[in-house]
Amino acid sequence: MNESLRLGVNIDHVATVRNARGSGYPDPVRAALLAAEAGADGITAHLREDRRHITDADIARLSAELPIPLNLEMAATEEMLGIALRHTPHAACIVPEKREELTTEGGLDAAGQHNRLAPMVAELASVNVRVSLFIEPDPRQIEAAMRLAVPVIELHTGKYAELSGAAQAEELRRLSDAAALAAKNGIEVHAGHGLTYDNVAPIAAIPQVRELNIGHFLIGEAIFVGLADSVRRMRNAMDEAR
Ligand code: PXP
């Protein structure tokens, strides 16, 4: 039998809407609490270098108020490391970050950045933060994650979400193979980016995947059906696929 699959709800884009007007609402912490009530197993928030959505104050409040684990997405910078060490979230997912990008494009080059990442991973691990690396489903990157001794990787499903037909099937195979390779080597596998009700099932069905992190679609769907329903329906789609 497949092991259970957790849903991490990314609340960044509640903050995007708030920041569009420089007002105090909608409040991403309120959204996180509601998502938790509706069945989210964790909350993910990306504190970007430019603070375009989530702010330092949001991270402080999420750390203090959440009844479920917080997964802090962060770039591999000294500033973000300091913030993570101060708040010690349950997990920290290291992502590549470019100022000009609309969203996280492509995975982290864990293979090319070993020397930069190794001390960060060690420092975070020393305060019991579960470190994950957001990487492409590429055996080279998984081997690099093994060398860095991270407990978790998150596979980037952005390409899969954009493709269709045979090309999508091929990308799904790469994701599946990558998940099997990582799990065989003792690394917990998460996945995320661009997932929707329509494309989540094949990813949720990969037996080694233990957690999905989903944001943009759920927050957009909440406009039409409310956040609780949006989260519940995703939970059901994941459970059915399992
Ligand atoms: N996982 C990671 C590491 C991400 O950077 C993002 C986007 O912030 C997501 C998951 C969620 O992607 P989406 O908002 O497209 O669902």
| pLDDT tens-digit readout, 145-162 | 999 999 999 999 999 999
Q: What 3-state DSSP class applies to 70? A: strand
Q: What is the pLDDT of residue 3?
A: 75
Q: What 3-state DSSP class applies to 92? A: strand
Does any domain span residue 80? yes
Does any domain span residue 1? no
Whole-number mean pLDDT of the chain?
96
CATH code for position 37? 3.20.20.70
Distance CA 222, CA 56 (A): 25
CB of residue 160 inside a 6 A radius of ligand 1: no
Cα–Cα nearest to 14, from 53, 46, 56:
53
| Predicted TM-score (pTM) of this structure | 0.96
Residue 35's identity, in one-letter code, is A
How much distance in Å is there from the Cα of 116 to the middle of ligand 1? 23
Does any domain span residue 29? yes
Please confirm, yes or no, whether 87 is among the known catalytic residues: no
Does any domain span residue 23? yes
Does any domain span residue 175? yes
Instruction: Write out the residue range of the structural domain in which residue 111 sits.
Output: 6-241
Does any domain span residue 110? yes
For residue 192, the cross-strand partners are 156, 213
Mutate to test the pocket of ligand 1, among 105, 135, 213 (most ligand atoms within 8 A of CB): 213
**Which backbone phi and psi does 101 adopt, to 5 degrees?**
-75, 155
